[in-house]
Amino acid sequence: MRPARLILLSLLLAGCAVTPTPNSPTATPAATAPATDTPLAVAPTPPGTAAALRLWLPPDFAPDDSTPGGPVLADQIAQFEAAHPGQRVEVRLKQAAGEGGLLRSLETAYNVAPAILPDVIALQQDDLTSAAKAGLVIPLDDLLAPGTIDDYYPFAQTMSRVDGKVAGLPFAADARVLVYNTQIYSTPPRVWTDVITGTLVFPGGELSGLTVLNEYLSLGGTLADASGKTELDSELLAETLSAFQSAQTAKVLPVSTLAYADPAATWQVFRERRAVLAITSARWYLAERQRASSTSATLIPTTDGMPFALADGWCWVVVNKAADHASALELLRWLTDPAQLSEWTLAAQVLPPRAKALAGWGDSPLVPLASDVLVHAQLQPSAEILARVGPPLRQALDDVLSGRATPFTAAAAAAQSVAVP
């Protein structure tokens, strides 16, 4: 074995000694806790039984008491093992992204230590695309029953496909929503002109520019020209920026909104009653709504009142390895069964990506919001696109709210910035 190859293998296996760090969604819905390569199921495989199925997850979805929905997932895995005698599931936790994360670990194991590859892995949208294009996961089109993805919401169907093929089955979704104080707003504000009192905050400092992008796309804006080159429509972007300028003029939107870099920050401001309205993630609202009295949520307002949301999520995928895929596919089907998915998503406080799973939420008061978001959701642009358009959108918003530019000049500058190769 070459020295470099030996070093990589040693580093990969050394991670197995890391101690798990519990991650509580009431602290942060994002997968930011340190991951662990320590299996949560470590019993040796009895002689004569099938090899353990390896399942790789981010800490946010750990099947234990450290996460909402963790005990439910643990029970579902136990039920799978009981229904498949001799089959054991071994769970490993890894960071959601970055070095040592799910995708990087998958790539490294595939090239250096295929014997420790997972059978099923949870991947976010961009990582799923990268893994599929690299041939690390298997296409599912010919392995799923006809109509399997028909009841998945349109954005989730889009998320499941890479180059036209089904590469994974979505199991968790999230989207941006508006939370508001029901003592001030007795009905949900669905157009920007309804936002007339109190203080509104949103993540104006995030480089992805998702709040601006949500309004821009809701107006019919596009992110590419006919040839596929990244492009912004300066006229629609000016209209977008004008909506935020009007909110500022009405003394509803403070310039301090530029200081908030993520949905966690805006939720904190809202929960502390320093704002009457806030744009945050659905997952924050689902996880902590009971800690904020007189609170409800709705779609982010738009200029014309047309419902619109940007969503992303996670997919289960089957890893492309030499072993027989039958057991891995059976686990995939088990975890995405509507009844299983319904129970877990409600407990885990995430949006279900398929309609049959949401139907299982029954009379939960969260159903109207979830349905509204999921039906009107569009898949969030890829990280590559957001890296191109996000910073110019953020700068344009900054220039308008800080009084350095009009919506028209700021929009023109942003469009020009994106157009530069």
Structural domains in the chain, sorted by start: 3-16+25-173+313-374 (3.40.190.10), 175-310+379-419 (3.40.190.10)
User: Cα(74)–Cα(77) distance, rounded to whole angstroms?
Assistant: 5
Res 420: pLDDT:
77
Reply yes or no on whether the pLDDT at 4 is more than 90. no
Reply yes or no on whether the pLDDT at 349 is more than 90. yes
Res 43: pLDDT:
41
Residues ≥6 apart with Cβ < 8 Å to 215: 240, 243, 244, 300, 302, 303
User: Cα(297)–Cα(189) distance, rounded to whole angstroms?
Assistant: 10
Average pLDDT of span 349-369? 97
Res 138: pLDDT:
95
User: Tens digits of per-residue pLDDT, 88-139?
Assistant: 999 999 999 998 999 999 999 998 999 899 999 999 999 999 999 999 999 9
User: Cα(177)–Cα(395) distance, rounded to whole angstroms?
Assistant: 22
Regarding pTM above 0.85, the answer is yes
User: Cα(216)–Cα(267) distance, rounded to whole angstroms?
Assistant: 23
Give the β-pairing of 295-298 and 169-181. antiparallel
DSSP states of 119-155: SEEEEEHHHHHHHHHTT-B---TTTSPTTTTTTB-HH
User: Cα(193)–Cα(244) distance, rounded to whole angstroms?
Assistant: 10
Average pLDDT of span 181-197? 96
Model confidence at 18, pLDDT cuts 50, 70, 90, reads: very low
Q: Following CA atoms 161, 214, 266, 21 in sequence, which dihedral angle do they give, to the nearest 10 degrees?
A: 10
Give the β-pairing of 309-318 and 169-181. antiparallel
3-state SS assignment for residue 23: coil
Integer distance in angstroms from the first to the last C-alpha of the chain? 43
Average pLDDT of span 155-162? 97
Task: Note whether 255 and 335 are within 8 A (CB).
Answer: no
User: Tens digits of per-residue pLDDT, 270-292?
Assistant: 999 999 999 999 999 999 998 88
Task: Note whether 387 and 404 are within 8 A (CB).
Answer: no
Res 78: pLDDT:
97
Res 324: pLDDT:
80
The pairs formed by 13-16 with CB atoms below 8 angstroms and a separation of 24 or more are: 13/113, 13/116, 15/100, 15/105
Model confidence at 414, pLDDT cuts 50, 70, 90, reads: very high
Res 38: pLDDT:
46
DSSP state of 363: T
3-state SS assignment for residue 366: coil
DSSP states of 42-75: -PPPPTTSPPPEEEEE-GGG-SSTTSTTHHHHHH
Res 421: pLDDT:
67
Average pLDDT of span 392-409? 98
Quick one: which of 53, 22, 19 has its CA closest to 36? 19
What is the enclosing helix (H) or strand (E) of 390? helix 383-401
Higher pLDDT, 342 or 33: 342
CA triple 62-155-174, angle to 5 deg = 35
User: Cα(329)–Cα(5) distance, rounded to whole angstroms?
Assistant: 31
CA atoms within 13 A on the CB side of 308: 20
Reply yes or no on whether the pLDDT at 77 is more than 60. yes
Model confidence at 10, pLDDT cuts 50, 70, 90, reads: very low
What is the enclosing helix (H) or strand (E) of 171? strand 169-181
Res 26: pLDDT:
38
User: Tens digits of per-residue pLDDT, 243-264?
Assistant: 999 999 999 999 999 999 999 9
Q: Percent of the chain beyond pLDDT 90? A: 81
Res 341: pLDDT:
98
Token pair for 110: 């595939």
Helix axes 383-401 and 210-218, enclosed angle (nearest 10) = 90
Reply yes or no on whether the pLDDT at 1 is more than 80. no
Reply yes or no on whether the pLDDT at 45 is more than 50. no
Q: Percent of the chain beyond pLDDT 70? A: 88
DSSP states of 332-354: HHHHHSHHHHHHHHHHHT-B-SB
Q: Which residues pair with 170 in a beta bridge?
A: 315
